[in-house]
């Protein structure tokens, strides 16, 4: 089964860290990705850029006018920094991988529909 792990963090907290701590955190994330990619568990993953836009299309199956806004939600305190697609035997294994994420914040674990 494939699961999408989405990694959330508070950008203001991340940017408040001294540069050396941010660099150490990035290195730890790189090691985490390398470990799980090397074992064949991560089949895709990327760090995401800044400058998110959301296109809101309105109600389901309705023809509302599209509206473009900055970010996913203006009131959000956490932002998505990266994601990984893992291929594992079950949800428990995906959660176990998510629990080892070295950077704090939150990890959303969602099954990928085939």
Write down the CATH superfamily of domain 2-111: Dimeric alpha+beta barrel (3.30.70.1060)
pTM score = 0.80
- What is the maximal distance between C-alpha atoms in the chain? 50
CA–CA–CA angle 108, 110, 114 (5° rounding): 160
What the block records as the tokens of 7 is 């990694």
Q: What is the mean pLDDT of the chain?
A: 86
- For the chain, the structural domain boundaries read 2-111
CB 84 within 8 A of CB 2: no
Higher pLDDT, 62 or 33: 33
Percent pLDDT > 70 in the chain is 90
Q: How far is CA 108 from CA 7, 67, 80, in A?
A: 7, 26, 10
CB 96 within 8 A of CB 107: no
């Amino acid at each position: 089964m494939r699961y999408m792990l989405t990694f959330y963090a508070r950008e203001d907290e991340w940017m408040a860290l001294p540069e050396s701590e941010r660099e150490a955190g990035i290195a730890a994330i790189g090691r985490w990705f390398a470990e799980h990619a090397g074992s064949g568990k991560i089949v895709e993953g990327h760090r995401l850029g800044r400058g998110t836009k959301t296109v809101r299309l309105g109600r389901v199956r309705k023809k509302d006018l599209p509206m473009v806004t900055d970010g996913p939600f203006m009131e959000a305190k956490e932002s998505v920094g990266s994601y990984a697609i893992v291929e594992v035997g079950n949800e428990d294994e995906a959660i176990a991988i998510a629990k080892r994420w070295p950077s704090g914040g939150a990890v959303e674990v969602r099954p990928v529909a085939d």
